[in-house]
Amino acid sequence: MAQGGVGLGTIARANGITFGTAVNSGKLGDAAYAAQLVAEAQLLVPEWEAKWAALQPRPGSFDFGPLGIIASFAQAHGKQLRGHALVWHAAMPPWLAEGLAEGAARARSLLAAHMDGVLPATRPAIRDWDVVNEAIANPEGSPFTARTPSQGDLRDTPWLRALGPGYIEEAFRLARERDRTLRLTYNDYGLEGDSPWAEEKRQRTLRLLRRLVGAQCPLDALGLQAHLLMDEPFRPEPFAAFLRSVRELGLAVLVTELDVREAQQLPPDLPSRDAAVAERVRQVIGTALDAGCRTVLTWGLSDKDSWLAQDRDVMRKDGQVHRGLPLDEAGGRKPMWQALATAFGTRRG
């Protein structure tokens, strides 16, 4: 049940911040789900519908149907839309992986053709795209996935194998050539915590961003997914120092996919669990906003509609549901909602 009162999007906007969330086109027919989006979000990002497998399921054959459902909803309710994601190692249709394996020339033409098919068609609705998603390898010890195979700092993907490390820069240049005013974002996860592997991933990210900016690559922003883990410690200082370095490169910072995975050992009762999640969100989002971040998206609004409740690798094994989003399973506002509202309402210099 959506609750009355001013939503997060409105509170954020009054303070110069844009708040949004991921949306699933298949759920928009659910009145309660749609009402939550209308009430809380100012900006929407498709959870699946703008990925390669959704947009170009067969070579040269584009399908904008599911994305169009979201775009129509956004337009009807005065919401902005962002795009996710043009180049990613996941959500690739099988034919794409086969094409990339044919070598650099084929990979280049597939990438250019995808951008030719997608960017003009989604303009003017989408003015901000995750151009490259999750290109950096997870360091040793990262709990997200077993250490990802890597070549240097980069994740070993079909794109890297086809084009070498330059594929990232090529993707940004191709996007800019097709749309000179689009905001182009590099998006990744595991960058927020106070752990050796998060620090190593921050260093890898800075090396990549410095290389791109140094080569005058058309990159505008870093997207921090912020899939937070309660089992990983957090301290504002290392995260703030990282964000300062990113901002010094002239890049904007966005929080693109915020949610919280609760600890293996849960606090004893729901109020304690929710307080812990809210406090973590207050710290992380407060630090990001202090560093000049002005766009925050959660990866869904309610615990019911979250990948945290559905993905086998991340769902809880104890029968509980992660309480890692602003609304509970029934749509009620939780302390995390309040933490976001307070963070958005706090005056910053």
| Binding site residues, ligand 9MR, CB under 6 A | 47-48, 51, 90-91, 225, 257, 307
Specify the residue, 11 or 325, whose C-beta has the smaller distance to ligand 9MR.
Answer: 325
Question: What's the closest the beta carbon of residue 257 comes to ligand 9MR, in angstroms?
Answer: 5
Question: What's the closest the beta carbon of residue 259 comes to ligand 9MR, in angstroms?
Answer: 9
Question: What's the closest the beta carbon of residue 144 comes to ligand 9MR, in angstroms?
Answer: 9
CA–CA distance, 155 with 168 (Å, rounded to integer): 12
- Comparing every residue's Cβ against ligand 9MR, the nearest one is 307
Specify the residue, 47 or 220, whose C-beta has the smaller distance to ligand 9MR.
Answer: 47
Question: What's the closest the beta carbon of residue 48 comes to ligand 9MR, in angstroms?
Answer: 5
CA–CA distance, 166 with 288 (Å, rounded to integer): 29
CA–CA distance, 37 with 9 (Å, rounded to integer): 10
Specify the residue, 11 or 224, whose C-beta has the smaller distance to ligand 9MR.
Answer: 224
In the chain, which ranges are E strands? 18-23, 43-46, 80-87, 126-133, 150-151, 154-155, 183-188, 221-224, 227-229, 252-261, 295-298
Specify the residue, 309 or 341, whose C-beta has the smaller distance to ligand 9MR.
Answer: 309
3-class DSSP state of 126: strand
| CA proximity to 316, closest of 259, 262, 277 | 262
Question: What's the closest the beta carbon of residue 322 comes to ligand 9MR, in angstroms?
Answer: 12
CA–CA distance, 236 with 287 (Å, rounded to integer): 6
Specify the residue, 25 or 195, whose C-beta has the smaller distance to ligand 9MR.
Answer: 25
3-class DSSP state of 240: helix
Question: What's the closest the beta carbon of residue 11 comes to ligand 9MR, in angstroms?
Answer: 25
Structure tokens at 142: 């990262």
Question: What's the closest the beta carbon of residue 91 comes to ligand 9MR, in angstroms?
Answer: 4
Question: What's the closest the beta carbon of residue 244 comes to ligand 9MR, in angstroms?
Answer: 24
Structure tokens at 116: 């030719």
Specify the residue, 25 or 42, whose C-beta has the smaller distance to ligand 9MR.
Answer: 25
Specify the residue, 261 or 282, whose C-beta has the smaller distance to ligand 9MR.
Answer: 261
Residue 293: how many other CB atoms lie within 10 Å: 21
CB-based burial, 79-95: b 16+ in 10 Å, e otherwise: bbbbbbbbbbbebbbee
Specify the residue, 90 or 241, whose C-beta has the smaller distance to ligand 9MR.
Answer: 90
Amino acid sitting at position 237 = E
295 bridge partner residues: 18, 254
